[in-house]
C-alpha cells in the first residue's frame, strides 16, 4: 500500500538513475567542447556519444541531431519559412498546423500570422487528413506540423499517411514527438517526418535540453534562432549544455532498452485505472478512448465537476496529477485540445489528466481510484448544494 503517487509524467518524468549518473560524470569535465585541447576534446567526445544515442532512439543519423534547450526551442527552430532542401532556397509560404498542437507550435514560429492555417480534428482527436490535403492543394509551398502523440489525450496521429500527403504536394513535415519518445517506438524514416522534436525530461532525462532532428542531411535550417558561433553545425550557436546532453543520451539509451517492457507495464496500469473509473463512475468520459493512444495517458472528466477543484483535492490527498498541459497550469480557459475535438466547455472544464511512467505501481493506481471515489461523492454533494468552487 502507498500513501503518495506521482501521476503527472506527461508534465515531466522523474530523472532516471542512469541519467543522474551521466550528468554527475559530465559535471566533472572541465573543457569547452569547442576547444581543441585534451579537456575540450573530452567534452566534445561525450556530446557526440550522446548525439548518437539520441539519434538511435528514433532511427536517425547522428549528424542530423541538433541539440537545443528543450522541445519549445526545437519547435521554434523548425517553424521557419527559411528551410532549404537539396539546395532549393525558395521560402515556405504557409504553415499548416493541427488544432491540437502544443502552444509552441500554435504560436507559429517565424511565420507571419496570416500565413498560418489550422487543420481540425475529429471527435476522437485525430487530424482531418482530408482538410490537410485540401489546404495543400491550394498550391503554396507549405511546412506542416502535426504532433505524433497529444500531450493531453495521448491520441496518436496518422503521421506516415500525413507525410505521404504532404510530400505529394511538395511540402515538408515537422513532427513534435515530445510525448511519444520513450513510450512508443519511433522511426523517423518510417514516419516520413522531415523534422522531429524531442525533449529530454519527458523520457527521464534532465530539464532544459531537447533536440531537433532532420530525416535527411539535405534539409538545411537556413535561419537559426541563435547566431554567433559555429556550434551544432551552425544550426544553434552557444556553448553546449554538456551535462544536460549527456543526461539526455543516457536517458535515451535506457528508454530504448526498456521500451517494450515499460510500454506493456504502463498499458496494464492504464487499463486498470480506466476500468476502475468506469466502474466507479459510469458517466465519466475518457477522451480519445476510441482512438489509438499512448499507453500511459488518460484524460477524464465527469460532468458537473471542475478540474481545478479535483487537482487541488488530489494533491491534498497525496496524488500529483494535472488538468492538462503543464504549460497551461493556472489558466481557467478550457483546453484548446478538447475544444478542437468539439467537447462542450462545461465538460472540458472538468478534465483531469493522469499520466503514468515506468515506475508507477498498481498501488498508486488503487490509491488514486480510492481518492477519485471519495472526491466524486463529496464534490457531487457540494455541487448539488452549490458549494463547490
Q: Is 251 a residue whose pLDDT tops 90? A: yes
pLDDT digits (tens, 9 = 90+) for 356-368: 999 999 999 999 9
Residues 6+ apart with CB under 8 A from 370: none
Residue 108: is it exposed, middle or buried by C-beta count within 10 angstroms (0-12/13-18/19+)?
middle
pLDDT of residue 354: 98
Distance (Å, whole) CA 48 – CA 270: 37
Distance (Å, whole) CA 203 – CA 283: 33
Average pLDDT over residues 114-118: 98
pLDDT of residue 386: 52
pTM (2 decimals)? 0.95
pLDDT of residue 2: 79
Cβ pair 149, 124 in contact under 8 A: no
Please state which of the ranges 86-90, 198-202, 265-269, 377-381 shows the lowest mean pLDDT.
Answer: 377-381
Q: Is 386 a catalytic residue?
A: no
State which of 131-135, 376-380, 382-386 shows the largest mean pLDDT: 131-135
Q: Catalytic residue, from 327, 332, 346, 362: name it.
A: 327
pLDDT of residue 334: 74
Q: Is 292 a residue whose pLDDT tops 80? A: yes
Distance (Å, whole) CA 347 – CA 63: 46
pLDDT digits (tens, 9 = 90+) for 326-343: 554 455 457 999 999 999
Question: Residue 267 corresponds to which cell in the numbers above?
Answer: 498499458
Phi, psi (rounded to 5 degrees) for 65: -95, 125
Q: Is 384 a residue whose pLDDT tops 80? A: no
Query: What percent of the chain has a predicted confidence (pLDDT) above 70?
Result: 95
Phi, psi (rounded to 5 degrees) for 307: -60, -45
pLDDT of residue 385: 53
pLDDT digits (tens, 9 = 90+) for 160-211: 999 999 999 999 999 999 999 999 999 999 999 999 999 999 999 999 999 9
* Domains along the chain with CATH numbers: 5-13+259-385 (3.90.1150.10), 17-257 (3.40.640.10)
pLDDT of residue 331: 52
DSSP letter (8 states) at residue 249: H
Of the CA atoms within 13 Å of residue 145, those in its CB half-sphere come to: 32
pLDDT of residue 332: 46
Query: What percent of the chain has a predicted confidence (pLDDT) above 90?
Result: 90
Please state which of the ranges 23-27, 86-90, 110-114 shows the lowest mean pLDDT.
Answer: 86-90
Residues 6+ apart with CB under 8 A from 18: 250, 251, 253, 254
Distance (Å, whole) CA 115 – CA 118: 10
pLDDT digits (tens, 9 = 90+) for 219-243: 999 999 999 989 999 999 999 999 9
pLDDT of residue 250: 98
Please state which of the ranges 91-105, 313-327, 350-364 shows the lowest mean pLDDT.
Answer: 313-327
pLDDT of residue 388: 47
pLDDT of residue 108: 97
Query: DSSP letters of 68-82?
Result: ESSHHHHHHHH--S-
pLDDT of residue 3: 86
Strand ranges for the chain from DSSP E: 5-6, 65-68, 83-85, 94-98, 116-119, 142-145, 172-176, 195-199, 210-214, 219-221, 285-286, 297-301, 319-320, 352-355
Three-state DSSP class for residue 18: helix
Question: Average model confidence (pLDDT) for the chain?
Answer: 94
Cβ pair 14, 22 in contact under 8 A: no
Which residue, among 198, 116, 129, has the nearest Cα to 163 in the 3D structure? 129
Three-state DSSP class for residue 5: strand
- How far out from the chain centre does Cα 287 lie? 17
Cβ pair 199, 326 in contact under 8 A: no
Greatest distance between any 2 Cα atoms in the chain:
73
Q: Is 1 a residue whose pLDDT tops 90? A: no
Q: Is 273 a residue whose pLDDT tops 80? A: yes
Average pLDDT over residues 349-360: 97
Amino acid at each position: 500500500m502507498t500513501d503518495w503517487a506521482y501521476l503527472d509524467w506527461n508534465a515531466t518524468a522523474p530523472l532516471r538513475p542512469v541519467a543522474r549518473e551521466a550528468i554527475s560524470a559530465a559535471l566533472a569535465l572541465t573543457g569547452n567542447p569547442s576547444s581543441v585541447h585534451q579537456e575540450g576534446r573530452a567534452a566534445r567526445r561525450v556530446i557526440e556519444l550522446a548525439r548518437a544515442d539520441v539519434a538511435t532512439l528514433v532511427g536517425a543519423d547522428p549528424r542530423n541531431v541538433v541539440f537545443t534547450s528543450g522541445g519549445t526551442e526545437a519547435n521554434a527552430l523548425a517553424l521557419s519559412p527559411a528551410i532549404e532542401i537539396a539546395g532549393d532556397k525558395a521560402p515556405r509560404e504557409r504553415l499548416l498546423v493541427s488544432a491540437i498542437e502544443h502552444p509552441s507550435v500554435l504560436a507559429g514560429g517565424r511565420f507571419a500570422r496570416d500565413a498560418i492555417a489550422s487543420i481540425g480534428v475529429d471527435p476522437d482527436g485525430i487530424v482531418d487528413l482530408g482538410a490537410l490535403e485540401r489546404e495543400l492543394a491550394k498550391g503554396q509551398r507549405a511546412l506542416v506540423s502535426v504532433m505524433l502523440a497529444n500531450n493531453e489525450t495521448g491520441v496518436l496521429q496518422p503521421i506516415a499517411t500525413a507525410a505521404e500527403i504532404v510530400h505529394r504536394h511538395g511540402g515538408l513535415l515537422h513532427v513534435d514527438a515530445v510525448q511519444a519518445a520513450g513510450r512508443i517506438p519511433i522511426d523517423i524514416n518510417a514516419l516520413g517526418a522531415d523534422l522531429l522534436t524531442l525533449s529530454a525530461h519527458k523520457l527521464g532525462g534532465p530539464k532544459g535540453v531537447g533536440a531537433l532532428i532532420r530525416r535527411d542531411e539535405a534539409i538545411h535550417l537556413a535561419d537559426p534562432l541563435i547566431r554567433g558561433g559555429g556550434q551544432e553545425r551552425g544550426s544553434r550557436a552557444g556553448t553546449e549544455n554538456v551535462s544536460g546532453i549527456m543526461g539526455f543520451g543516457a536517458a535515451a539509451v535506457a528508454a530504448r532498452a526498456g521500451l517494450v517492457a515499460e510500454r506493456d507495464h504502463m498499458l496494464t496500469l492504464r487499463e486498470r485505472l480506466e476500468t476502475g473509473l468506469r466502474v466507479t463512475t459510469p458517466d465519466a468520459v475518457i477522451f480519445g478512448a476510441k482512438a489509438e493512444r499512448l499507453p500511459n495517458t488518460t484524460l477524464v472528466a465527469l460532468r458537473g465537476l471542475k478540474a481545478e477543484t479535483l487537482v487541488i483535492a488530489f494533491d491534498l490527498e497525496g496524488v500529483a496529477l494535472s488538468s492538462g498541459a503543464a504549460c497551461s497550469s493556472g489558466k481557467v480557459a478550457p483546453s484548446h485540445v478538447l475544444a478542437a475535438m468539439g467537447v462542450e466547455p462545461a465538460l472540458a472544464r472538468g478534465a483531469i489528466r493522469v499520466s503514468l511512467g515506468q515506475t508507477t505501481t498498481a498501488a498508486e493506481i488503487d490509491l488514486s481510484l480510492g481518492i477519485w471515489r471519495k472526491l466524486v461523492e463529496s464534490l457531487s454533494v457540494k455541487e448539488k448544494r452549490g458549494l463547490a468552487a
